Amino acid sequence: QVQLVESGGGVVQPGWSLTLSCEASGFTFSDYSIHWFRQAPGKGLEWVTLISSDGNTRYYADSVKGRFTISRDNSANTLYLQMKSLRPEDTAVYYCTRELVTGKWFFDPWGRGTLVIVSS
């Protein structure tokens, strides 16, 4: 079964750091680019970042550039999102998802998400 499972969310204070993980199973992880999206409570989906299959290419949304870092360990089938200098507006459910066809940004599957709350 093709699956992505996020973990690592929690409640942190503004300015703190947090690292999210995304564990993949059921497919050859190293063949696919992986993206992070987020969804603020009651809001729509926002693209956050992507990493290419080999880890050599990374892109970030302007809203997180310089604060978030995406990385992957293909030997462990795991993706990471290091988040620093967190702000209240980073509060959201964070999802990892696979770019199903290289170069075409539609996504499948998605994980169930992990909730990050940034609040004092």
Using CB under 8 A, list all residues that contact another protein.
Answer: 44-45, 47, 95, 97, 100, 104-113
**Shortest approach of another protein to residue 108 CB, angstroms?**
4
Q: Which is nearer to another protein, 48 or 118 (CB)?
A: 48
Cα 116 to Cα 7, 62, 73: the distances in Å are 10, 19, 22
Cα 94 to Cα 31, 64, 117: the distances in Å are 22, 13, 11
Strand, coil or helix: what is 103? coil
Query: In which residue are the tokens 């059921």 written?
Result: 26
Q: Which is nearer to another protein, 8 or 47 (CB)?
A: 47
**Shortest approach of another protein to residue 47 CB, angstroms?**
6
Q: Which is nearer to another protein, 8 or 84 (CB)?
A: 8
**Shortest approach of another protein to residue 119 CB, angstroms?**
21
Centre a 10 Å sphere on the Cβ of residue 120 and count the other Cβ atoms it contains: 7
